[in-house]
């Protein structure tokens, strides 16, 4: 399909791990991104992964990429209440000229104390 798909909602307990999943559309996407949106604010880049990588770790964040299934995931270890936000995955579509970034539908992460 055309859309970058994510589940709408995820609830976890503080201290547990969170896994947010994303299915993207363009198998030739060179970079894939995770953005975080806190309440009442714009999006901020959390992390990104280059398409020739399977995994990238950055402190509590682990990004896994399965190119065959066009599946991207973001794992947050030891989830804290400050991690409550909406998380968007994004892919780059197109080749040559302007390559557009397309955002997913967003997953709202609720962390229960």
Partner 1 sequence: NAGVTQTPKFRILKIGQSMTLQCTQDMNHNYMYWYRQDPGMGLKLIYYSVGAGITDKGEVPNGYNVSRSTTEDFPLRLELAAPSQTSVYFCASSYSWSGRDNEQFFGPGTRLTVL
Pairing, β 100-103 against β 5-6:
unpaired
Q: Binding of partner 1 at residue 110 (CB under 8 A)? A: no
User: Which positions from 63 through 92 interact with partner 1, judged by CB under 8 A?
Assistant: 88, 92
CB of 74 to partner 1, least distance (A): 16
Stretch that binds partner 1, among 10-18, 58-66, 73-81, 97-105 (CB under 8 A): 97-105
How far apart CA 46 and CA 23 sit, in angstroms, is 18
* E strand or H helix at 64: strand 61-66
How far apart CA 70 and CA 104 sit, in angstroms, is 13
Q: Binding of partner 1 at residue 10 (CB under 8 A)? A: no
Q: Which residues contact 42 (CB under 8 A, 6 or more apart)?
A: none
CB of 85 to partner 1, least distance (A): 13
User: DSSP code of 99?
Assistant: P
CB of 12 to partner 1, least distance (A): 20
What is the size of the binding site for partner 1 (CB under 8 A)? Answer: 25
Q: Binding of partner 1 at residue 12 (CB under 8 A)? A: no
Q: Is 95 exposed, middle or buried (0-12, 13-18, 19+ CB in 10 A)?
A: exposed
Q: Which residues bind partner 1 (CB under 8 A)?
A: 3-4, 8, 30-31, 33, 40-45, 48, 50, 88, 92, 98-106
């Amino acid at each position: 399909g055309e859309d970058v798909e994510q589940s709408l909602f995820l609830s976890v307990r503080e201290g547990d791990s969170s896994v947010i999943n994303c299915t993207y559309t363009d198998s030739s996407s060179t970079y894939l991104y995770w953005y975080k949106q806190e309440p009442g604010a714009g999006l901020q880049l959390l992390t990104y992964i280059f398409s020739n990588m399977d995994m990238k770790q950055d402190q509590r964040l682990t990004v896994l990429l399965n190119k065959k299934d066009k599946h991207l995931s973001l794992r947050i270890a030891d989830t804290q209440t400050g991690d409550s936000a909406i998380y968007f995955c994004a892919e780059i579509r197109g080749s040559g000229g302007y390559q557009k970034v397309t955002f997913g539908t967003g997953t709202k992460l609720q962390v229960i104390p």
